[in-house]
A and B are shown apart, each in its own frame.
Chain A
Amino acid sequence: MTKQQANWSPYDNNGGSCVAIAGADYCVIAADTRMSTGYNILTREYSKICKLADKCVMASSGFQADVKALQKQLAARHLIYQHQHNKQMNCPAMAQLLSNTLYYKRFFPYYSFNVLGGLDNEGKGCVFTYDAVGSYEKVGYSSQGSGSTLIMPFLDNQLKSPSPLLLPVQDAVTPLVEAEAVNLVKTVFASASERDIYTGDKLEIVVVTADGIRREYMELRKD
């Protein structure tokens, strides 16, 4: 008797790309707004970016239902933290929380590829990049999602910073100013939209600075 195969998968891939870049006193987080399934576009105006705390923003691509569940889980845990500690979580703490939350579903993973961006306690930009089961590291820039293989080499070329593992220690954040970083992000998504069918429609850019969070949009190719 042949083994019974599942005729239904709990997962789906809604496509899309996200990028985050850390600067000396800012952090840029961006994602496209297209949500697809297979060859169909479900909507052109879906936000993949979620504000987790005052200085901490997450962008996730992959299966958006899992992403939504993950965002709710994190928001709930953040609220508990605020009740217990009477303050907002800082970015490195949220990064560890996200890693643990992902790993707690190690045997039934969230199909969610995340980048977390924000300002650390000293006001410097920080970006954390994750795989789907929770391994993470602090980096100067990162991209995830269907266009990441197109975007990452370009960011490596423009922003390649010394590895944080080198001794003597060298700074990982980019020397670019905020306006240059935002321009770079726009360029990167324009290129990714040309060659990745799942990336396009509109680009949502979130910039986290000491003054707060600013949101910006740019049109991308709709084909």
Chain B
Amino acid sequence: MKLDTSGLESAAPVWGAPSELVDGFSAAPLFEVPNTTDFDGFQKEAIQMVKPAKGTTTLAFIFKEGVMVAADSRASMGGYISSQSVKKIIEINPYMLGTMAGGAADCQFWHRNLGIKCRLHELANKRRISVTGASKLLANILYSYRGMGLSVGTMIAGWDETGPGLYYVDSEGGRLKGMRFSVGSGSPYAYGVLDNGYRYDMSVEEAAELARRAIYHATFRDGASGGVASVYYVGPSGWKKLSGDDVGELHYKYYPVMPSTVEQEMIEVAGA
């Protein structure tokens, strides 16, 4: 019996013609590589010129009822806001979510690739893949492209047979299991609010409100985060989107404009 070592194959090609995209989803796709002596310099210049969209705040945490995942929706290209409505919480399958931070194209492509691999696993093994397994698949792929300039900072959150699962995976090849993560340029601000308000035994509503507020505060202080704060909950029956609120409106919800006393006096005088 031949062992399936497709997961261990190095995905980054150096030689070999670009193959047709249709065959073999088990191996990672072949990429054309520029014919230059200075690969790193070329990548640096190409990325600076092309300015792929990035900048973000995402967070996820495990609590008594499951996993709460939240993100903003702004994409920036240099100083220009290229979009205020990017979907940064990616639905890998009905019980697993991935978050997007770093290069938008890198995250979108590799999460979709991960979704394909998870589905193939289900078909090959007649059972769903675990969060541990899925995050490992992604981490191995990203590790094989280490040093080539991919920018991915993602969290894989899901519910499997062992209960809620949360992993942080990045393009440096890191993979961490944990209870609370926040990733992106706005993460320091989100951590402040999240760490302060976190308790393991929160209800779903309390956890959702904490996640929403953490994202709001990050968008308030980080220029590269903004748009719509989306909150998802992952429970035993899969994920469910709980809310999507424009952060501008959240601001006035949390800090409503109070009429000052001077204005109140003037109203009384006018009424008299």
What residues of chain A have their CB less than 8 Å away from a CB belonging to chain B? 3-4, 6, 10-11, 99-100, 102-109, 111, 129, 131-137, 139, 149, 163-167
Give B contacts to A, CB under 8 Å.
18, 21, 29, 31-34, 36-38, 41-43, 46, 49-53, 73, 75, 77, 80, 82-87, 103-109, 148-150, 227-228, 230, 241-246
- Tell me if B105 and A107 are in contact (CB < 8 A): no
Other A-B pairs beyond A3-B38, A10-B34, A11-B49, 14, CB < 8 Å: A99-B105, A103-B109, A104-B31, A105-B32, A106-B31, A106-B150, A109-B50, A133-B52, A133-B103, A135-B108, A136-B108, A163-B73, A163-B244, A165-B227
State A11–B242 Cα separation when bound (angstroms): 45
Q: How far is the CA of A100 from the CA of B109 in the complex (A)?
A: 7
Contact present for A137 and B52 (CB under 8 Å): no
A-B interface, 6 closest residue pairs, ranked by CB to CB distance from nearest? A135-B104, A135-B105, A167-B244, A133-B105, A165-B228, A132-B50
Q: Which of the residues B105, B241, B243 comes within 8 Å of A102, measured between beta carbons?
A: B105
Task: Please count the residue pairs between chain A and chain B whose beta carbons lie under 8 angstroms apart in the complex.
Answer: 107
| Cβ contacts under 8 Å, B148 to chain A | 107
Would you call A164 and B50 a contact (CB within 8 A)? no
Among B29, B51, B108, B243, contact of A167 (Cβ-Cβ < 8 Å) = B243
Is the Cβ of B86 less than 8 Å from the Cβ of A137? yes
In the complex, the answer to whether A4 meets B32 with C-beta atoms within 8 Å is no
Pairs across A and B, CB under 8 Å, 13 listed: A6-B42, A99-B108, A102-B105, A107-B43, A107-B148, A131-B50, A131-B82, A132-B51, A132-B52, A134-B109, A163-B227, A163-B246, A166-B228
The answer to whether B85 touches A137, judged by C-beta atoms less than 8 angstroms apart, is yes
When distances are taken between beta carbons in the complex, the residues of chain A under 8 Å from B246 are 163, 166
The minimal Cβ–Cβ distance linking A94 to chain B, given in whole angstroms, is 15
Residues A6 and B108 in contact, CB atoms below 8 Å apart: no
Closest B residue, CB atoms, query A140: B85
Residues of B within 8 A of A108 (CB): 32-34, 46
- Given contacts A103-B109, A105-B32, A107-B148, A133 and B50 within 8 Å (CB-CB): yes
Q: How far is the CB of B35 from chain A (nearest CB, A)?
A: 9
Query: What's the least CB distance linking A4 to chain B, in Å?
Result: 7
* Smallest beta-carbon distance A17→chain B, Å: 14
Of all chain A residues, which has the CB nearest B29?
A104
Chain A residue contacts of B241, Cβ below 8 A: 167
Contact (Cβ within 8 A) A165 B109: no
Instruction: Return chain A residues, CB-CB under 8 Å to B242.
Output: 167
Asked whether, in the complex, the Cβ of A165 is within 8 Å of the Cβ of B73, the reply is yes
In the assembled complex, the Cα of A159 lies from the Cα of B228 at a distance in Å of 18
Distance A21 CA – B87 CA, assembled complex (angstroms): 20
